[in-house]
């Protein structure tokens, strides 16, 4: 079967012997990228992989295409990554860890309204900047159990971070104490994620009014949590 036609194989289904080979390969590559030239080549491959995955989709993307896009020899790829699955997951890690980082400093870090607005702005602008690869990530998550599991774990950690923030707002008397923090966190986090997907992957991003979207999300959060702006001033 041609490489471009290969189906993404979940790590859970890979034979132990293959996993052992992959582990040995990773051990051989330990320390790779510590030199400036190594880091540059690895970054070139990651940038190229993003271009190829966005252009061709995951299933049709080939290691050879990534190497050609990066301008490096095909053999060099395996100095840094075991497979296209591994380089894809590396991209997922870097993008989603940034996307789901809740805490961001603002000019008024103690203002809960500004903190909520800053978090919404960070999520939407980061998603917009990565809309193309996010579309591919969503697709791969439906066929690769490892990608799905990792995304689920990150989303759950994201929800727990929101839950802690809601509990703090309740403890300070700013949020409605009758709201169940865990369910509210899941609902609000899920709303933002789905809203971003609709806004940037179902419509033309050029026509998306991100500033208005940020304000709308912030208002929904405040209303959902029972926060009145005059009480925070």
Which spans in the chain are helix H? Answer: 16-28, 36-56, 63-70, 74-80, 84-99, 112-129, 131-141, 145-171, 181-201, 210-225, 229-232
The average pLDDT across 184-201 equals 92
Contact 172, 166 (CB under 8 A): no
Q: Which CATH number is 15-82 given?
A: 1.10.10.60
**Per-residue pLDDT at 14:** 30
Residue closest to 86 by CA, chosen among 146, 158, 134: 146
* CA–centroid distance for 46 within its chain: 15
Residue 83 has pLDDT above 90, yes or no: yes
**Per-residue pLDDT at 18:** 34
DSSP state of 206: G
- The angle at the Cα of 104, spanning 114 to 118, to the nearest 5 degrees, equals 35
What does the pLDDT look like over 105-120, one tens digit per residue? 444 557 889 999 999 9
> CATH 1.10.10.60 in the chain, residues?
15-82
Judged by average pLDDT, the poorest of 83-97, 127-141, 179-193, 203-217 is 203-217
Judged by average pLDDT, the poorest of 67-71, 144-148, 188-192 is 144-148
**Could you name the CATH architecture of 92-232?**
Orthogonal Bundle (1.10)
> CATH 1.10.357.10 in the chain, residues?
92-232
The average pLDDT across 15-44 equals 60
**Per-residue pLDDT at 103:** 59
What does the pLDDT look like over 160-175, one tens digit per residue? 999 999 999 999 999 9
pTM above 0.95? no
């Amino acid at each position: 079967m041609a490489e471009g036609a290969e189906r993404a194989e979940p790590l859970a289904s890979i034979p132990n012997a293959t996993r052992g080979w992959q582990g040995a390969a990773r051990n051989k590559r330990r320390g790779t990228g510590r030199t400036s030239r190594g880091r540059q080549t690895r970054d070139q491959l990651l940038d190229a992989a993003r271009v190829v995955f966005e252009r061709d989709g995951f299933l049709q993307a080939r290691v050879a295409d990534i190497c050609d896009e990066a301008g490096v020899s095909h053999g060099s790829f395996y100095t840094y990554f075991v497979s296209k699955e591994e380089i894809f997951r590396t991209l997922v890690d870097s993008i989603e860890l940034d996307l789901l980082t809740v805490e961001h400093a603002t000019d008024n870090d103690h203002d809960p309204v500004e903190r909520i607005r800053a978090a919404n702005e960070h999520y939407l602008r980061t998603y917009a900047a990565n809309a193309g690869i996010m579309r591919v990530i969503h697709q791969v998550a439906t066929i690769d159990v490892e990608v799905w599991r990792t995304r689920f774990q990150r989303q759950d950690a994201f929800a727990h971070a929101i839950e802690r923030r809601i509990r703090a707002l309740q403890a300070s008397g700013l949020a409605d104490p009758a709201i169940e923090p865990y369910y509210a966190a899941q609902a609000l986090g899920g709303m933002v994620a789905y809203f971003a997907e609709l806004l940037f992957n179902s419509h033309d991003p050029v026509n998306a009014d991100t500033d208005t979207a940020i304000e709308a999300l912030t208002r929904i959060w405040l209303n959902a949590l029972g926060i009145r702006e005059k009480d925070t001033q």
